[in-house]
Structure 1
Amino acid sequence: MGLRILVADDHELVRDTIAMFLESDGTGQVIQAGTLDDALKLMKSHGAFDLVLLDYTMPGMRGLEGLKAALKISGGNPVGLISGTGTRLVAQQALDLGAAGFLPKTMPAKSLVNAVKFMAMGEIFAPADFMSGKNDAPETDFEKSLSDRERQVLRGVLAAKSNKEIAIDLELQEPTIKLHVKTLCRKLDAKNRTDGAMIARDAGFA
């Protein structure tokens, strides 16, 4: 009997890719969710999963609050984080809260599958090279010029989200997002948000 794994990520491609790798090698059955709310509902309605994987930046997560909520209802079963943007500090805080592991989305597929099996067995997983910072890309001057909140808003702009959608994602008011976008345009010397997104992409911001 394979494992029952819940993968929650707001990018369908990421979910499908993880599901494909885990199901094709017989690791188990993968159930998918696109938001934290959906993931929590599935956890309540489907009973305990062998492993729950949550994307650190999907809607509803509010940083590590989403992890805490999932751990509360996981019945002691492992809950891990996957992230394309999380830092070592985030990974360490997640592990300290009781996460089963932290998987950077840059991991090779085979390593990812092995890590999932590892966590489902009750082990803690965090890639040593990631946790030691050996593979850290140095922070660019472009990133240094932005506050954490501005980076979050800019990621929303890059994802072609409206101010309203970004406000919902970050649980802020729409006028606040509008103000951040205005500040970003000024800082980036951009004519408008589309121009700002292009400048950010050219600078390698993701």
Structure 2
Amino acid sequence: MNNYPTITIDLVLDRFNAKEVLQAMLHAVLFHRLFGLVKPKTFEVLDVTMPGVSDPEMESLVNAKVDAFWKGIERGLSKRGQIVVTFSERRAKKGWFQMHMGEEDVPWEQWVINAEVRPPRDRERHTFDTALAATLTKSIETMLTHTSSERGRMAVPLITNATGISPFPIKISVHVGDQEL
């Protein structure tokens, strides 16, 4: 059992907007959890304004992970997958007799974005887009509620290194079907 909070967001997407939605979702998570000097950016997805991060390194990371997810879907591995964002802190790793054995990343929070790609029928397009817009709005509310809650604030470890955009290691993993991409 994890001792850290795990926030799950479920999305039903179509081929037309899957990449755009996933990029916006990842950017929104990063925007709420990066503690360095963040230059804000916004994404307009289905008339929902979502926050983002204007940083070449983060944009490259997000694009690479969304592309990996999309390639897994395109190869037909599955129509469902997830993108997991894990925030960790670096701690001294101790071995037997409390000897210092290097460093290890210890997670303090995880965001799981479950995504299913499903094509809507033509006559359902408006309903599908409206439902997705409502889900995006609810996701932003979930992010705000969690990050401003006592549990969300207590999950963040002490910031001892204030250089760069994030004082903590970030890992983004992509799973489609049974494979990690």
What interval of TM-score do these two structures reach, taking the shorter chain for normalisation? under 0.3
Provide the TM-score with structure 1 as the length reference: 0.25
| TM-score of the two chains, using structure 2 as the length reference | 0.27
Higher relative strand content: 2
